[in-house]
Structure 1
Amino acid sequence: MFRLFWADDGGLPANDRGLAYGDGLFETIRMVEQKGVLLSRHLERMVRDAGRLGIEVSRRDLANVCVQAAQRFAGRFRGEGWILKLTLTRGSGGRGYRPAPGMEPNLLVSASPLPPMPDIAGEAVDFSKVPLSVNPVLAGIKSLNRIEQVLAAAELGPSLFEVIMADHGGNLVEGTRTNLLLRQSDGWVTPPASSLAVAGVLRQWVLERLRQQGERVSERPVAVDDVLGPDCHGLFLLNSVLGFVPVRTIAGHDLPVDGGLATIFNPLETLE
């Protein structure tokens, strides 16, 4: 079990290890009234990745909290929906990095309005100057350690929707808040999960859906030339809150925009 905290009641205690060391992880879920987009996948990822960090939590307990949160918050928002955020930390107390045995996790629950939706005609992005380092032990986990994304997001201006981060070898990895999916003449390409700071639930969902439809999908490193070269038939940013975002320009270079991918994902069809 965990100690439950509501952000509108004051939040986590000052000695929480998530605040002190980033010792935890989080999920951001798009809600429509009292149901969540890809909710099961979000909860399964939190349970799985918490286990990788040595934090025990049950899916049933998380699901019960989501029900409570929906009843508490849904009436405050109108229109397209709202955002439910679950922040799970190892717990409170202790000085130093070494956690005490038998710590009880803390779960912070908060809600916020749905952000503006992207332009279906495509968005402008750029390459980030901040390299992305991914520890293999932490690959894919949506942990609280997001300082590289914070620094990269500071590069965003009013004309940019996102910046794309590369690893130290120059391969494109992901945006500050999005995963990448590239369309080429012989199929789809996405960076492998082992290279990602965050392996998004929408990314996994769409890869499964494309393969079910008989599409060829390759998980391999993506070079800048793959995006700027003649075999690029479209670049998409994936985010379970924002959906599929076609890229119209990257670093001033025009890209082909294909809106067909968006037709396979309707958030309302994945509500649970």
Structure 2
Amino acid sequence: MLGVFWAEDGGLPANDRGLAYGDGLFETILMVGTRGTLVGYHLDRLVRDAGRLGIPVTRAEAQDVFARATSHYGHSRADTRWVLKLILTRGAGGRGYRPDPDMTPNLLVSASAAPPGVPSEGVAVTYSRIPLTVNPLFAGIKSLNRLEQVMAARELSGDVFEVLQSNGDGELVEGTRTNLLLHTTEGWITPPRDSLAVAGVMRDWVLERLEARGEVVSERPLLSEHITGPACRAFYLLNSVLGVVAVRNLAGQDLPVDSGLATICDPLETLE
């Protein structure tokens, strides 16, 4: 059983645990009319990570809500791009941290305009002063607990597109809304999955595409000197709504730009 709420009808109850404690997770899906990109990846992650949090939702329920949402919002948007957001919470009711084991999960559904496209010549990024801590128990889950990303995003200004967050060991982990991928003379490097606050579906899909092409992909700690060193061929940000974003400048240092990955991995190929 799943309670479904539509944002324009008033949203979640005031006593929802997602509002009170960040007790839930979310997905944002790039849509074109009534079709979405990487839909299977998004819904699989929603169900899988909800299970990790002990929130009962089935793949069939998630698929049904997606179908209802595309009908509800998509037909009036024709072939335009928009973003579907699904917020799943443990449910409403009770006081205190301990949840009722018989609580009914709630799913809030909303639609918004898609952000503008990113320039093919690349974007400028810099380092965040806000460190990123990842509890191993929740690594990779796109939970509602995103305060570190919110505070880091406040550092964005001018033409800075993204800020990169590091862990306590000084290793680059991810951006406020993006996963990181570096192309070097020896292959591809991306931070290990178990170090990530959010393991993005675009990251998963791109790595699968690269490995299918026979590319050497390594999940290992990423340091700033790897990006700014002579072995760097290109540095990318990955996001399921924005796609593959080439970085042209990191904290004032110009980087080589190669937009080829965006051609190889175009999320619009995954519309379903």
TM-score band by shorter chain is: over 0.9
| RMSD (CA atoms) | 0.9
Q: Distance in 1 between matches of 2:134 and 2:153?
A: 17
2:239 maps to 239
Tell me how many residue pairs correspond in the alignment: 272
Deviation string for 1:232-252 (max 9, x for gaps)? 111000001110000010100
Residues in 2 aligned to 1:151 and 1:79: alpha-carbon distance in whole angstroms: 35
Q: What is the CA-CA distance between 1:97 and the residue it aligns to? A: 0.4
1:80 Cα deviation from its structure 2 partner: 4.0
State the 1:120 CA deviation: 1.0
Q: Does 1:130 align with 2:116?
A: no
Which secondary structure state, in structure 2, belongs to the residue aligned with residue 119 of structure 1?
Answer: coil
Alignment of 1:201 with 2:194, yes or no, is no
- The aligned residue for residue 230 of structure 2 is 230
Q: Report the equivalent of 1:145.
A: 145
Q: CA deviation at 1:78?
A: 5.5
Distance 2:39 2:209 in 1: 17
1:96 aligns with 2:82: no
Question: What is the distance in 1 between the residues matched to 2:143 and 2:12?
Answer: 17
2:33/2:79 contact within 8 Å kept? no
Q: 2: distance between equivalents of 1:121 and 1:79?
A: 26
Once the two structures are TM-superposed, the CA of residue 150 in structure 1 deviates from its matched residue by 0.1
Q: Write the distance in 2 (CA, Å) between the matches of 1:244 and 1:80.
A: 20
- Aligned to 2:27, what secondary structure does the other structure show? strand
Distance 1:124 1:80, change over 3 A: farther
Q: Percent identity?
A: 62
Distance in 2 between the 1:79 and 1:249 partners? Answer: 34
Q: Determine the structure 2 residue equivalent to 1:262.
A: 262
CA distance in 2, matches of 1:201, 1:91: 25
TM-score (norm 2): 0.98
In 1, Cα distance between equivalents of 2:192 and 2:99: 32
TM-score, structure 1 normalization: 0.98
Moved over 2 A (4+): 75-80
Q: How does 1:1-272 map to 2 (within 5 A)?
A: 1-77=1-77, 80-272=80-272
CA distance in 2, matches of 1:175, 1:20: 26
Assess if the C-alpha contact under 8 Å between 2:209 and 2:265 holds in 1.
no
Question: 2 CA distance for matches of 1:57 and 1:39?
Answer: 16
DSSP 3-state at the match of 2:15? coil
- Separation of aligned partners in 2, 1:223 and 1:127: 12
Q: What amino acid is aligned across from residue 165 of structure 1 in structure 2?
A: Q
Which AA in structure 2 matches 1:81?
A: R
3-state SS of paired residue (2:206): helix
Cα deviations by residue, 1:24-75 (Å, 9 ceiling, x for unpaired): 0000000111111000000000000000000010111111111111111113
CA contact (8 A) 2:34 2:78 kept: no
SS in 1 for 2:137: coil
Q: Is the 8 A contact 1:77 1:113 kept in 2?
A: no
Tell me the amino acid that sits aligned with residue 261 of structure 1. Answer: L
- C-alpha deviation, 1:76, in angstroms: 3.9
| 1:194-246 Cα shifts (integer Å, max 9, x gaps) | 00000000101111111110100000000111111111111000001110000
